[in-house]
Structure 1
Amino acid sequence: MAAFVRPPSHRRLGGGSRSNPLRSGGADGRKSFHAINIPRISAGSEERLNATQPSRAVQRVSGWFYDGQRFREGTVGWEEDVVVEIRSGRTRRPLAEGLILPGLWNAHTHLGDAIVTQELKGTIEELVAPPHGLKHRVLAKAKDAAVIAAMRRAMATMIRTGTTGFSDFREGGLNGLKLLYAALAAMPMQGLALGRPVGLSYDPREVAAILRASDGIAVSSYIDWPRDAIEKLAADARRAKKIFAIHCSERVREEIDAVLDLSPAFLVHMLHATDADLERCADAHVPIVVCPRSNAFFGMTPDIPGMLRQGVELHLGTDNAMINTPSLLREMEFAYRVARMKGGVPAREILEMALRGRRLADPHATSAIRVGARADLVILDLPGGRSGFASILRASASDVRLVVSGGRLWPAPSPSVRDASMIRGPRRRITRSTR
């Protein structure tokens, strides 16, 4: 495979920039500025990740890279925050070697409730439903600095496990968004911030302020809201060309036509959906985010094979940070096992579910590593070739050799280690059996 070089007219895609870390892709793929004042709350050293700044020199990794269909042996290079080179053959001194994936995208998170650390007991309504669920009561009383620190810990977990972007349903109105941005400012990753009003009512001034300060609106469920209020929320999001997203059929089946009339960018859960409901989503080209570990906590599981049979595009999320660690490596493994209970799906499909969410930040994004894309990569200490897909579903945080997020490296290599052998890791010795 020949090397490809970035054209001079390349436009940067989505994500944070060095000049303003709070820019991110909007629903239409254009960069949008969040008109919001970020609280200046310092973080302890344990809440920050030691990541480098993007380099103006081309940096490279070698191994087996994902081309959107299969793993191919070769080298991937990037300059600053853009992939500029893909070629066959291995470079002499790569930053890291292994299985090379695009950075994973966590398509559904509630990072704010990472503040809840107690053992959890109760139903969905008792724990997470607005306005009186446990998480809402805890968030209402928590200090801003504590919520920011909790979200930073959750973001650090994502980076350490190969996730470079996420879509967060942010409770708490305008102040909730401020806390999310304060946490994200310290982290080398992208975040889509989807806000919501403080209460279950429509205030046009509050909604306008939230839309100016976010990537869109995301609410709990259709049945939680007065019909006229949720219709106005969705209409305002459409006029602002922002995302509107919603949980659907998580606790009980909800009327899918009423939900789709809101023109959502995506739905979350759909556990109690009928085949006809799923077919309607497929026909409307509305993706569904599944969160198997969260569902299992409440005694339910998504029918992943059934959803795919109806033609639905599936994304993968970790849901509530108070219930699950926001690790997509763990979520992928669990999703694969849950799918086997209903007939199974290929391992490659599970990986694709963990990559597709990036399309919300950039509609032109693909799941392949390609020239011109944002430099978001994760390099795993795993075999490639035909074994690549299956090995990913057994991966853990200890298999992560290097994460590249917008050209920033984690872990940052030591300046004294010129060949970055600390990142590559020692070569494994092969001992011959005498038996």
Structure 2
Amino acid sequence: MILEGTILRGRAFEPIEGRVVVEDGDIAAIEEDSVDSDAIVCPAFVNAHTHIGDSIAKEAGEGLSLEELVAPPDGLKHRLLRQADRSELVEGMVRSLSYMYRSGTGAFVEFREGGVEGVRAIRAALADSPLRSVVLGRETVEAMEMADGFGASGANDAEFGRERRATREAGKLFGIHAGEVDSSDINPALDLDPDFLVHMVHAKRLHLERVADSEIPVAVCPRSNLVTGVGKPPVEELAERTTVALGTDNVFLNSPSMFREMEFTAKLYDVSARDVLRMATVNGAELAGLDCGLVEEGRPASLLVLDGDSDNLAGAQNPIRAVVRRAETADVEQVVVPEA
């Protein structure tokens, strides 16, 4: 496979004209050359935090607080998930996975409700999907053992010591929500020495310094935090101290579009388009332990090709800003994801 156009190469996303040569699922070569193509070739996105089981209830719960929406065990989403027919649940996830792929996502990190059965359901939904997934089971150690790790709710909901020990012993990923509603659960979450944190909306200086000292990455979800009214994560301050990745959070609150998440983040915060693109690609890959997120020789070919001559992108003077602040699903020409 040969992809031609403007290539956003390496961690700096250096725009070069040329071609990407893909062999056996890997990037075999990046060749600088004059080519007859307006395409933009960049890494496929890594969505660092999703709850796609919520696909059965998009735009449900208007006017409810965050606790009423998602708090376990009786928040709206948990009640809806318990009531849903398994085939309905799987079909909803299949459709969200299809949308994610068509909108440029190559990999994602899922916090999967429902214990063992929840993990089985998303595995069924992923059966025919090209997406790479990191599925974190919730609620039980058994779900973690079936999945790629454990995804904990806030440390005020439970202590999670047993789950953390079991996940560490299994050599799997442990992520935990922290600082979404207030700051009270951040120190207990950090005490668990997680592999990554999610949200950190209410992080104070002490928490930021602890994150910096421990080098724990953070997945932020600015659109979700806006919708639920909990505030803005301190993206600039977090980015000065650790690796920050972008996630879209609950599907019933927001579409799982990394284009929308990037644009919102780029326009809400004083961060460069280049930094936002890192948050949407290589930072999420590193948070999840995946070898993707960059266009570099020797990397797996997880790539996104955009039509730089679309009515939306034609005339763009800066391809990085165009990808982050302007591009949308309609501009996607091709998504390349290596076979697992």
Separation in 2 of the partners of 1:160 and 1:97?
Answer: 20
Matched, 1:303 2:234: yes
| 1:59-208 equivalences in 2 (<5 Å) | 59-67=1-9, 68-69=11-12, 70-90=14-34, 98-121=39-62, 122-197=64-139, 206-207=140-141
Q: Deviations over 1:11-50 (max 9, x none)?
A: xxxxxxxxxxxxxxxxxxxxxxxxxxxxxxxxxxxxxxxx
Structure 2 residue aligned with 1:234: 164
Matched, 1:216 2:164: no
Give, as a single letter, the amino acid of the residue that structure 2 aligns with 1:262: L
Q: Deviations over 1:51-106 (max 9, x none)?
A: xxxxxxxx1111111222121111001123221121111567xxx75111111000
Give, as a single letter, the amino acid of the residue that structure 2 aligns with 1:377: L
- Which of 315, 318, 323 lines up with 1:387 in the alignment? 318
* Contact 1:60 1:91 (C-alpha < 8 Å) held by counterparts: no
Structure 1 residue 120, shift from structure 2 partner? 2.4
Structure 1 residue 368, shift from structure 2 partner? 2.6
Structure 2 residue aligned with 1:374: 300
List alignment gaps of at least 5 residues for structure 2: none
1:184–1:366 CA distance, 2 compared to 1 (3 A): closer
Q: Which moved more, 1:71-80 or 1:102-111?
A: 71-80
Structure 1 residue aligned with 2:221: 291
Separation in 1 of the partners of 2:28 and 2:216?
Answer: 32
* TM-score (normalised: structure 2): 0.92
Note the aligned Cα RMSD (angstroms). Answer: 1.9
* Contact 1:78 1:84 (C-alpha < 8 Å) held by counterparts: yes
* Contact 2:6 2:15 (C-alpha < 8 Å) held by counterparts: yes
Count of matched residue positions in the alignment of Structure 1 and Structure 2 = 329
Structure 1 residue 119, shift from structure 2 partner? 3.7
Separation in 2 of the partners of 1:242 and 1:220?
Answer: 17
| 1:301-340 equivalences in 2 (<5 Å) | 301-309=232-240, 311-339=241-269
Give, as a single letter, the amino acid of the residue that structure 2 aligns with 1:244: F
Which protein is bigger by CA-based radius of gyration?
1
Q: Deviations over 1:367-423 (max 9, x none)?
A: 431122111100112369960121111111111111111169xxxxxxxxxxxxxxx
Separation in 2 of the partners of 1:80 and 1:148?
Answer: 31
Separation in 1 of the partners of 2:243 and 2:135?
Answer: 22
1:125–1:256 CA distance, 2 compared to 1 (3 A): closer
Structure 1 residue 254, shift from structure 2 partner? 2.4
* Contact 1:61 1:91 (C-alpha < 8 Å) held by counterparts: no
List alignment gaps of at least 5 residues for structure 1: 1-58, 198-205, 409-435
Structure 2 residue aligned with 1:359: 286
1:91–1:337 CA distance, 2 compared to 1 (3 A): closer
Separation in 1 of the partners of 2:296 and 2:58?
Answer: 40
* Contact 2:154 2:189 (C-alpha < 8 Å) held by counterparts: no
